[in-house]
Amino acid sequence: MTAVAEQTNRGVRGPVEDEFDPRTRGIGLVGKLAVFIVISVVAAAATEPILLGAVFVGLLLLTLSTGLKPKTVLGAIKPIAPVVVILFVFSSLFYKPATARQDFAHTVFANLVQTDFITLTISAGGLLFGLGIVIKLLLVMIVSIYLISTTPTEQLLAGLQAIKVPNAIGLMMSMAVRFIPTMSSEVATIKDAQRARGAGSSRQAGQRRQPVQGTLPLFVPMIVTSMRRADTMAMSMVSRGYGFTKERTIMARLHVGFWDYLAVGLGVVATVLFFLGRASLGFGIL
């Protein structure tokens, strides 16, 4: 491979630039992926709310230490509040206290329904199980936010390239992210144009009155405009020579540093210890 091709494949940045880039310090994509896998596995396998609560606090501290604002995390949780409540109620009521491993979970406060097919009870075990399920849900949500929101897009694309995902998929994703604000402003423009021509605000999509009727006049022009935009974009891609070389160059390299190795190592140890403790002592099981 020629020096120029090697330089292009390596990207424009060298190891010195990487060392001083603040985004490559701390845990990188590989470490975050390890954290994501470990927490997803623990969330799926554990049922005890104390263990899940401890993992939740640790994850929250880790997420907030990356500079992510608590408002962002709360903002993500708020819309699913009804789901959280439904999940808590269903999982608490359907829980069978007799199956609990710990004695205090066997306490039954009230038998609501008791038939051959269905048993609904309010029990200490049920309430703890419901709490555990809610913490699990929050765990998988926050770890997903941690993985995606705290990783720069270029690093994610480098990760996708490393696992041999076609370059076009990464390119599409980055182009889509780039166009979200443009599309949002276009939606506002179309709404303004319709309002200026006498369309009542009550017929706008997402409004309380007649919300469904408003979607058709909003989306059809949006899609037509999008097609025009795609046409122009394809022409500019061709004029810039897209698809004329075999390999695609990428600015960011997948950086694996000390913190990544530490995260992977700790993740493996924690997972092994968790499953050993679960199998021998019933650790993490309600």
Partner 1 sequence: MTSNDAQAVDEVPQEARIVRSTGFFTPIRISRMAVLIALSVVGAFVKIPTPIGSPALDSVPAYFATMMKKWDWKEAAIIAVLARLLAAATEGFPLGLPVQVALGIGNASWVAVVVRIARLRFGYIAAIVATLVWAVVISLASPAMLMFALGLDFQSAFALGLTGIPALLIAAGIAVVVGAAAARAVQNTPLSK
92-151 residues in contact with partner 1 (CB under 8 A) are 93-95, 118, 133, 136-137, 140-141, 143-145, 147-149
CB of 233 to partner 1, least distance (A): 4
Separation CA 70–CA 134 (nearest Å): 18
C-alpha distances out from residue 192 to 42, 195, 216, 241, Å: 49, 5, 15, 38
Q: Establish if 36 lies at the interface with partner 1 (CB under 8 A).
A: yes
Which token pair is 212? 């469904």
Stretch touching partner 1 by CB under 8 A, among 14-22, 79-87, 260-268, 274-282:
79-87
- With binding defined as CB under 8 A, does residue 175 bind partner 1? yes
- Calpha distance 108→126 (Å, rounded): 9
Handedness of CA 159, 164, 165, 166 (dihedral sign): positive
Among 85, 112, 113, 233, binds partner 1 (CB under 8 A): 233
- Residue 159 CA neighbour count, 13 Å, CB half: 16
HSE-up of 136 (CA within 13 Å, CB side)?
20
Q: Which is nearer to partner 1, 10 or 178 (CB)?
A: 178
Minimum CB separation from partner 1 for residue 240, in Å? 9
Which span (230-238, 251-259, 262-270, 274-282) binds partner 1, by CB under 8 A? 230-238
Is residue 208 part of the contact set for partner 1 (CB under 8 A)?
yes
271 binds partner 1 (CB under 8 A): no
With respect to partner 1, which residue has the nearer C-beta, 143 or 158?
143
Name the CA radius of gyration of the chain, rounded: 26
List the Cα angle 84/90/93 in 5-degree steps: 135
Query: Between 83 and 112, whose beta carbon lies closer to partner 1?
Result: 83
Q: Using H for helix, E for strand and C for coil, what is the string for 41-80?
A: HHHHHCCCHHHHHHHHHHHHHHHHHCCCCHHHHHHHHHHH
Instruction: Give the binding range for partner 1 (CB under 8 A) out of 14-22, 76-84, 193-201, 258-266.
Output: 76-84
CB of 113 to partner 1, least distance (A): 12
Examine residue 237 and tell whether it contacts partner 1 (CB under 8 A). Answer: yes
Near partner 1 by CB under 8 A, which window of 20-28, 107-115, 231-239, 272-280?
231-239
Q: Identify the residue among 110, 163, 180, 196 touching partner 1 (CB under 8 A).
A: 180
Cβ burial of 236 (10 Å; 0-12, 13-18, 19+) is exposed
- 45 is a contact residue toward partner 1 (CB under 8 A): yes
Residue identified by tokens 């491979």 is: 1
Q: Which stretch binds partner 1 (CB under 8 A): 14-22, 177-185, 251-259, 267-275?
A: 177-185
Residue 227 within binding range of partner 1, rule CB under 8 A: yes
